[in-house]
Structure 1
Amino acid sequence: MSGSSSFRSRGRGRGGAGRFTNSAPSTPLPPDRDLMEGLRPSPILTLQIPTTPSGAKDVVISNLESIGSYNWTTDTAPTIIVPGALSHSPIAGSPPEWQNKAPPYQVPADIGLFFVDQNGFRMPSAVLLPLITAVDMVHEARGSPAAFDWATGFDFVTDRNGLRKLMRWIDGAGADPPPRDFRIDMQLAGSTVLLNRWERRTRENFSGYSFGFNFEKASTDPALGCEQSTGHHRVIKYDMNGLKMVVRFEVDACIPSAAPPSAASKSVGSIDDLADIFASTKLGARAAPAPPKTSHGLTVVQGGAAIPHASVVELTTRAEHRVADFDWKDAYPQLFFSQTPHHFLAVHNRGRFSAVHKRKLGASELRAVERTIQPSLKKFRAALDVIKALVVKHGQRGRLTLVCRDGKLAVFERESSANCLPDEVIARFEN
C-alpha cells in the first residue's frame, strides 16, 4: 500500500482485526536505531553510480516463477501460515481479496500502529528465515522428492524493498533533497549474496491524515481463515539480464477467483485455534494437514493453496489534488521488481473515494514508463554486479553493510561475525 509520499509509511498493516497492531491514536515506540549500530567507524569503500555504455541492453525480467508465500498471524510467538498440498484446506496463506466495491464510499482516517517491516519486527535476528521456510514448505507440498536447492543458481536473495532503495540511490544522484538514508546488511552464503533489510524502526504510528490503510480494509476481505493475518508475503524467482534473483515482497490484495466467498464463519485467534480447525475439517479421503511445527523460533502452520501470480494487486491511494503529480518514476520499480501485474490507484477527497484507476503491468502506458527509467535500470543492474563482486571478494567470513547517507553509498564492515540465518540454513547454500 502506497498511501503516503513518506518513505517510512510504505509499511503495511493487514488482515481483519490484525491489520493494525493497535487502535489507539498514538502508541509509544522504542527510540530509532542508530544507522551505524554495530558497524566499524570507517568505510572500506564508497560506491560510485555506474556508467553504462550507450549500447547496453535493456534490463528485462524473464523466467518468472512463484516459489513461496506466507501470512503472518497475530500470535505472540512468530507464526506464519504457508500454503500446503491441501487445496481445499480452510486455512489459506493468501492476501486479502479485492471486492471491487463501487465508489463513492467514505473511509475514516488511519490511526494506530502499522508495520514498516513486519519480518524485521517478528524475526529481527533472521529476517530472511520466513522466506526460506516458506519456499521449502511449498516445494515439499508440490511433491518434490528432494529439498529445495539453495546451493546452485542464485546470485541474490533479497526483499524488493532493498532493490527499490538502491534504485532511489541511483535516481537521487545530485538531488536536493537527497534520497532518504538507508542501510542493507549483506552476507555471502555459498555463492549467493543475502541482502537483509534493516530499518531504524519496524513499526510506526499513523499521522491521522492518511486514508490508504482504511481504504484497503474497506475494499478487501480477508481470505478464508486469514482473518487474523497481519500481512501476506510472496516469494518469486527470476532472471534479470543474467542475474538469478529470489525476491520477497508484501502483497496488498488479489483478484479472487470465482470460488465461494472467502469470509470465514469462525474467527481464528491463535495457533491452537488454527490447529483445531484443521483437526475438525472433513476432507474426505484427503490426508490431515501437517500439525504446526516450530524451528529456529518460527512456528509454521500449513494450509491452503497458493494464489496465481496473475491475480496479485498493488493498491495505492492519492488525494484528488495530487493525482496529476503521481510519481511513476518512483512507483514503477515497485511493480517491476516484483512483476506485480495489477496496479489500482484509488482517488479520494478527505477519505471519500470517488474512483479507482486500474492499470496492468503490460499496458502501453506503463511500458512507456519503463522505457523512461531504462537508463536507471541499466545503472542499477551494473551496480548489482559491483555489489556481488565486492561481497564475494570478502568471502564467507565477510560481514559487509551498505549505508546510504546524504545520497552517498558506502560499504562498512560489521563488528559482529554472527550469521544472518541459522548455521544449518546457511549451510544449505554451500555445495
Structure 2
Amino acid sequence: MIPGKPALWTPRKGSYQLREDDGIYYRDPNAAAYGDHPMEAAVVSVMKMNSPSSHGHIDLFACGSTLGNLLRFVRGVDHSFRMLVEVVGNTVHLIRRENSPKEQIIGVRGFGHVFTEENTTWEKDVTGSNSHQRIMRYRFDGLDMMVRFQGDGYVKLIDEEEHHHAPTAVGASPQPESLLLNALQALKIREEVRPTLEEALQTVTGGQIVPQDAMFDIKTRSINVKHRDTLGEELPRLWLAQVKRFILAHHTSGKFEDVEIQDVSENIEAWEADNQAALRRDGGADSDEESPEREGDNDLGEFTDDDSENFTACDETCGYCGRCATSLI
C-alpha cells in the first residue's frame, strides 16, 4: 500500500497484565513477505510518489539494518553481519541477507510485540497492515542515499494537518562522509551473479503521509534492568532513522504501568556530537574508492565482516523478559 500509514499510538491506561510474545517472528520481515526482491517495494513506492526530477540521482539505496551494521562496524562493535551489494546504473543497493528469507528468531522471550499490538491501532484506511516501511533521504557530504526503515507508530500532532502533504524524506540528515565509504572498503567481498526471478509486485493506493517528527520507536524491558541505559544503547539506531520520540516501557513479569513518550532530540544530537571521531575515522576516502563494485549493471557482491552466523538469543543481561536478569536486581 502506497503511501500507507504507521500504526497510531493508542495507549492503554493504568496498569495492565500482558501475555508473553508467542508468535512467529521473522528476522527480516521484508524478505519473508517478498523473498525474491525484498527492496523492490521500497523502490517502487519512491517511483510512484515522486517524479524522477524530484528525487534526482541516488548513489546508494539501503535499509536501517544494513546501515546499522556498517555503523557498528566503523565503531568497532563486535557484531557479525552479511549483505548483498547490487549495482543498477550508478546506484548501489545494499540488501540485507539472512540465512533464509523466512528465517525466524527462535526463542523469543519478552513482551515487546504484544505491547506494541496492545498500544497501537491500524486505522481504518490501513486496516490489515502488518508493518509500515518508510523511505528517508540522506546526504553524506557527496553521497545521495535513500534508506528504508520500519516505523513502530506515530502520535497525532496538533498541527498534523499542516504536515499531511510533507515528503516522507527528512531534510536534515547525518553528515559524516567516511562512515559508509570506509566501512565498505574494509569489508570482504564475494562476487556472485544471480538470475532474475519473475514475479510481479502488487501495489495499491491507500493511507496518508505522516510527518517524520510524529514517528516513535518502542522498546520494552524488565523492571530488573531499569538501571541500564537502554536509550543510550538505542541512540545509534535512532540517529540513523532520525526518530526522535522514544517509548521505553518497563514491566514486572508482563505487568505494565502508565507509559510516556520521551522526546530524545537532544540525546540524538549529543550522541552525534560525541561520536564524530568514530564516524569520521580513517577520513579522506572519496567516491572513487567505490569503483571496484561499479563494473556494469546487476553485478552482485556480498559484504561480510565475519563468516560466523548471527543469532538473536536470550542471555544473562538482555533484560527483555526479566527471567534471565533476576541476578541483576
Q: Same fold (TM over 0.5)?
A: yes
RMSD: 2.8
Choose between structure 1 and 2: higher helix proportion.
2
Q: Which structure 1 residue ranges, 5 or more long, are not aligned?
A: 1-80, 84-92, 140-146, 260-294, 408-431
| Separation in 2, partners of 1:381, 1:254 | 37
1:66 aligns with none
- Change over 3 Å in CA distance of 1:404–1:135 after alignment to 2: same
| Separation in 2, partners of 1:224, 1:384 | 47
1:406-430 deviation per Cα after TM superposition (whole angstroms, max 9, x unaligned): 69xxxxxxxxxxxxxxxxxxxxxxx
- Change over 3 Å in CA distance of 1:207–1:386 after alignment to 2: farther
| Separation in 1, partners of 2:254, 2:286 | 40
Deviation of 1:380 after TM superposition, in Å, equals 9.1
Q: Which structure 2 residue ranges, 5 or more long, are not aligned?
A: 160-197, 309-329
Deviation of 1:372 after TM superposition, in Å, equals 2.6
Whether the 8 Å CA contact 1:109–1:208 is kept in 2: the answer is no
1:27-49 deviation per Cα after TM superposition (whole angstroms, max 9, x unaligned): xxxxxxxxxxxxxxxxxxxxxxx
- Change over 3 Å in CA distance of 1:115–1:386 after alignment to 2: farther
Deviation of 1:99 after TM superposition, in Å, equals 1.3
Whether the 8 Å CA contact 2:251–2:257 is kept in 1: the answer is yes
- The one-letter amino acid of 2:2's match is V
1:222 aligns with 122
Question: 2:84 aligned to 185, 205, 208, which one?
Answer: 185
**Residues 1:135 and 2:55 aligned together:** no
**Residues 1:161 and 2:60 aligned together:** no
- Change over 3 Å in CA distance of 1:129–1:229 after alignment to 2: same
Q: Secondary structure at the match of 1:245?
A: strand
2:137 aligns with 237
- The one-letter amino acid of 1:404's match is D
- The one-letter amino acid of 1:189's match is V
Q: Secondary structure at the match of 1:121?
A: helix
- Change over 3 Å in CA distance of 1:196–1:220 after alignment to 2: same
Whether the 8 Å CA contact 1:335–1:361 is kept in 2: the answer is no
Q: Secondary structure at the match of 2:305?
A: strand
TM-score by length of 1: 0.56
**Match runs of 1:223-372 below 5 Å:** 223-257=123-157, 296-328=199-231, 330-363=233-266, 365-372=267-274
| Separation in 2, partners of 1:378, 1:125 | 35
Q: Secondary structure at the match of 1:162?
A: helix
Whether the 8 Å CA contact 1:158–1:248 is kept in 2: the answer is yes
Deviation of 1:182 after TM superposition, in Å, equals 1.3
2:30 aligns with 119
| Separation in 2, partners of 1:150, 1:388 | 25
Percentage of pairs with the same residue: 23
Whether the 8 Å CA contact 1:339–1:361 is kept in 2: the answer is no
TM-score by length of 2: 0.73
Deviation of 1:312 after TM superposition, in Å, equals 0.8
Deviation of 1:210 after TM superposition, in Å, equals 0.6
1:110 aligns with 21
| Separation in 2, partners of 1:379, 1:184 | 22
- Change over 3 Å in CA distance of 1:227–1:399 after alignment to 2: same
1:32-87 deviation per Cα after TM superposition (whole angstroms, max 9, x unaligned): xxxxxxxxxxxxxxxxxxxxxxxxxxxxxxxxxxxxxxxxxxxxxxxxx113xxxx
Structure showing greater Rg: 1
Greater CA deviation, 354-363 or 182-191? 354-363
Deviation of 1:110 after TM superposition, in Å, equals 0.1
Whether the 8 Å CA contact 2:238–2:268 is kept in 1: the answer is no
| Separation in 1, partners of 2:68, 2:9 | 25
1:372-414 deviation per Cα after TM superposition (whole angstroms, max 9, x unaligned): 332232249878958734423x44364221012169xxxxxxx
2:98 aligns with 199
Deviation of 1:362 after TM superposition, in Å, equals 1.9
